[in-house]
Each structure stands twice: as C-alpha cells, then as structure tokens.
Amino acid sequence: MQNEWLYIGLFLVVGIIVPIVPLVFARLVAPRKPNPIKQSTYECGIETVGESWVQFKAQYYIFALVFLVFDVETVFLFPWALTLKQFPLFVVLEGVLFIGILVAGLVYAWRKGMLEWV
Amino acid sequence: MTFWNNPINLIANWLNGLLTGWHLPGTLATILIFVIGITVLIVFAMVLDIGLVWVERKVVARFQDRLGPNRIGPFGLIQPVADIIKMVIKEDITPAGADRIVYNIAPVLAATSVIVLWAILPLASTIYGVDLNVGLLYIVAAGAMGTLAIIMAGWSSNNKYALLGAFRMVANMISYEIPMVIILLVPTILASTMSVRGITEAQSGMWFAILSPLACLIFLISAIAELGRAPFDLSEAESEIVAGFHIEYTGMKFGWFYAGELLHAFTFGGFMAILFFGGYGGFFGLEKLATFTWLNIPFVQALVFIAKAMLGYWVIMWIKYSVPRIRIDHMLAFNWKFLVPLSLVVLINTAILNKVLSGMPDWGYVTGMFGSNIVIGFVTIEILRAYGRKKRKAETKPAPQAQTQEQTV
C-alpha cells in the first residue's frame, strides 16, 4: 500500500522531469534574439489595448456553484457504489433517494432559470 | 516460459537481487527499480506519442481528402521526428507582459497531467505501473490537473484571446466533469471495485459496453469535452480566438501542449477500452478457450489493449473532424439539461437492475441490462424529438399569435 503511493510520487517526479528535458535542450540550441515587436502581445496584428488581467465577468458563476454541490455529492456516492453488492435492495433504494435529492437540486436550479447562459 | 508470463516481475526481482547483492538498503533498491520502471514506461508513452502525431496527421488528411505527410521516410513516417527537431530549434518567444514563472510551468504541467495517467494504465495483466484501489478517482484528479495547466497558460500569457480560452475551458471542465464522475460510478457498481485492473478482470465474461451502452456513450462525450477536442474545442477555437490558451506559446512549449493533447486523447481511448471494452482481456472471454490461450501472453494482451485504445482514439478523431464546433451556451445547456439528467437515470437504472437481476441466469442479466439501456435511449430520443417538434412549431408560428398565446397562459 505504501509502495503504491511511493510509486505514484516517483511517477509524478519523473513525469515532471521528462517534459523539462526537451525544454532545457531547446534553450541550449534555439536562437534567442528578442526585440520589442517580437515580444509584444499577439492579437492578430492589432495593437493591444490595456492589460488582460482585468476583472472578467465569469458568466457561468452559477454553474460553478451547481458544480460544487454535484461534485461533493458524487464523491459520497463512490463508497455506496463500491459496497452495493453486500447490501439488500433497501440500501440501493436509499442511495437512489440520495440521488433524488441531487435531482431535486438540479430541477430547482433549472426552474429558477439558473441553467441559462446570461 | 516465466519471462513470457510475467516479464516485469521477473526483471524487477532480478534487479532487486542484483542491487541488494551490492549491499544497497532495501528501500533504496525499491526506489531505484521504480525509477527505472517508470522511465521505461514514460519513454514508451513518449515514443507512442511520436507515432500518434503521424497517425493524427495522416488520418485528418484522409478525412479531408488529402494525402498527408508523405515525403520524409516511407509514408511520411519520419515526419514527426522532423516536427520535433523543428520545434526544438525554433526560437522560444516569451511575451513582454507575461507572468514568466507561471507561463513556463504551464506546458510542463500540461504534459505531466497526461503522463501521470499512465501510472495506472494496465497494458496487460502483469504489465502495469500500479494497481491503485482508488484508480477511478485518480483519473478524475489527474484530469483536473490538466485543466489547471490550461488556466495557468491562459492567465499568464497576458493576452485577451488566451484569457478567453482559459475561461471557456473552466466552463467546460466544471460542466463535463459531472457526467464523467457519475458515469464512472456505473463500472464501479458493475465490478464492485474502483481499481482499474479489477474492472478489466470483471469484464472477462461480458463487456460493460454491452451491459450499459449508454454509459459508454456518455463517457465518450464527456471524455471528448474533458480533452477540449472538437466539437468542444472552444478553448482554442481558431476562427474566433486564434489558438486560445496557447496563442503565445512557441517552439517546444507549444509542442508539449500539442503532444499532451494527442497522448491525452489516446489515453482516454485506452480508458474507454478498459472501462467498457474489456481492456487487455480478449473478446467476451475468448481467451478462456483452449485454442485461444495465446491471448493470455502479456505481450499479446498489450497488443490487444493498444489496438482497442487506438480504436477509441480513432473514434475521438472521427468525431473531431466531422462535427462542427458548438456554441458555448449550447455546450453548457447540452451538459446540464441533457447529459447530467441522463447519466443520473443510467446510474439509478444500473444500481437497481444490478440488484434485482443478480439472481437471474447470465443471459437474463445481460438481456435485462442491455434492454433497459435501449429503452432509456429510445425514450430519450423520443423526448428530444417531441421537444424539437414543439420548438419548430413555435418558430414557424407568426409572431402576434405567439404573443396572444402567452397572454392566455
């Protein structure tokens, strides 16, 4: 069990090193002749106006909230799905009831018009 | 014969004996063996990735009635190598206003998020990185890392197109992750395990694609959305925001985004093969027959798996090059008003039927599962058609009439 996570940890480390190698190699081989025009922001030839780091309107803000609810609740469903085989039908129906609460939330958001792109 | 039955363990044991023979402490020997194994696996994935570049270019050419690369090497096979050389020797331009640290981390993270998926990908019954008991959650977690890389790239480029692309990717991710996680529950219920290898073993009798074809379909759609490929490639829509999140990247940094996307698509083809098409196992328990025992040799299993994964990858490519890009509000509506309810229905159906039909003989179980999915699919299509008819009727009606109707309601 410990070895498994050691493997994942090492995999992550090697997985980060492998993409870095060609980048370092490219830095050694590739030419570097920067100039202001080359380094300017590319927006199809039109000179950029102002910064990009502005307060941007995230139109899917409500979607994000619904996502949060669903994501947390589906994580609770995984233990239920794993142990389903050991339990009688009653437990299955209880899980379905839990999903029903999820569906009620979705229907509520839908009826309230939260699932529209504004 | 032992080498052919369990090559990885044999080599690992031999290396372990060798290293401990050199009086290395056991932990260090384990770490060294792991690093060697991981490097071999990742290098294999990278070589496969180079092949995928050729496959992708050749297949898209055929879809568009072109020949594709055919100059360098036989059938243009050396073309990807030429591509890599070109990318490495290109000048690496960093825009003046970019956030340098985040800008440089993003392409590495994009590649890493795909590579780490290979840790749990079972190529054969004895050739796999690690058999995690939470494998399915690991897939979702690694997928979220890829999205993070795209957001980092879009935000740090200090470019409005890149920012738009990143924002769209967030919308994409927070939507399509839900049906994917719900659908991952279906193989979990059917196999009673979350380990990727366990799910493969559970399908030695019957593929889950037969037991739940709708789940397979929903997984395919949400995987394509998670990949950010057409018709969900709004984050890099060429015709409106040029290249989206990787607009400012040049040289090998762009190369990693490109290579990562291709390998990601192949890996999801592989996961589709594992979750729904029996993975490295043969076809419907064929390997249990006496004449087909050669299907149990690990290298043959790996070939079978790669063939199945390639088929999944090809389907993803097929969809990419034949379906036009959809609008972002349609994309979200399609997810929240269609895929999420449908995946919940499929989940409930699987959970209940799996319990009710568990006492039945095999043929009854399979027919019940398959039939219920067909019924659900048919009802869904009928609902959609009725909705479409209603919508068309409302559109063809003259405007004033529609208004009076609203008043009466």
Q: What is the set of domains in chain A, with CATH numbers?
A: 2-111 (1.20.58.1610)
Residues 244 to 263 of B: which have CB under 8 A from any A CB? 247-248, 251-253, 255-256
Nearest-by-Cβ selection for A15 from B42, B194, B329? B42
Instruction: Give the best residue of A1, A3, A4, A11 to mutate against chain B (max B CB count within 10 A).
Output: A11
Give the residue, B91 or A43, on which the prediction is more confident.
B91
Name the residue with tokens 């609203």: B406
The shortest C-alpha distance from B292 to chain A (Å) reads 32
Determine whether the interchain pair B119/A8 forms a contact, defined as Cβ–Cβ distance below 8 Å.
Answer: yes
Residue of chain A minimizing CA distance to B41? A11
Residue B400, preceding peptide bond in cis (omega within 30° of 0): no
Question: SS3 for B22?
Answer: coil
CB contacts of B359 in chain A (<8 Å) are none
pLDDT string in tens for chain B (409-residue length): 566 677 777 777 777 777 777 777 777 777 888 888 888 888 888 888 888 888 888 888 988 888 888 888 788 888 888 888 888 888 888 888 788 888 888 999 989 999 998 888 888 877 777 888 888 888 888 888 888 888 888 888 888 888 888 888 888 888 888 898 889 988 888 888 888 888 888 887 788 888 888 999 999 999 888 887 878 887 777 777 787 788 888 888 888 888 888 898 999 999 998 888 888 877 766 667 766 767 777 788 888 888 889 998 999 889 888 888 888 888 888 888 888 889 988 988 888 888 877 777 778 888 888 888 889 889 988 988 998 898 888 888 765 555 555 554 4
- CA B318 to mean position of chain CA atoms: 14
Determine whether the interchain pair A22/B255 forms a contact, defined as Cβ–Cβ distance below 8 Å.
Answer: yes
Q: Which helix (DSSP H) or strand (DSSP E) does residue B400 occupy? A: helix B399-408
Which tokens in the block code for residue B302? 């790996």
CB contacts of B100 in chain A (<8 Å) are none
The shortest C-alpha distance from A70 to chain B (Å) reads 7
Average pLDDT estimate for A18-45: 83
Instruction: Give the best residue of A74, A80, A114 to mutate against chain B (max B CB count within 10 A).
Output: A74
Looking at residue B399, its pLDDT comes to 59
Query: Residue A49: is its pLDDT beyond 50?
Result: yes
Residue of chain B minimizing CA distance to A109? B336
Determine whether the interchain pair B337/A41 forms a contact, defined as Cβ–Cβ distance below 8 Å.
Answer: no
Looking at residue B219, its pLDDT comes to 92
Nearest-by-Cβ selection for B158 from A8, A11, A51? A51
Confidence class for position A1, pLDDT limits 50, 70, 90: low
Please tell me the distance from the alpha carbon of residue B47 to that of residue B121, in angstroms, as a whole number.
Answer: 16
Looking at residue B409, its pLDDT comes to 47
CB contacts of B89 in chain A (<8 Å) are 26, 29-31
pLDDT tens-digit map of A77-98? 888 888 888 888 888 888 888 8
Q: Report yes or no: B267 at the A interface, CB cutoff 8 Å.
A: no
Give the residue, A64 or B256, on which the prediction is more confident.
B256
Name the burial class of residue B230, with classes exposed (0-12), middle (13-18) and buried (19+) by CB atoms within 10 angstroms of its CB. buried
Determine whether the interchain pair B129/A7 forms a contact, defined as Cβ–Cβ distance below 8 Å.
Answer: yes
The most distant pair of C-alpha atoms in chain B lies apart, rounded to whole Å, by: 91
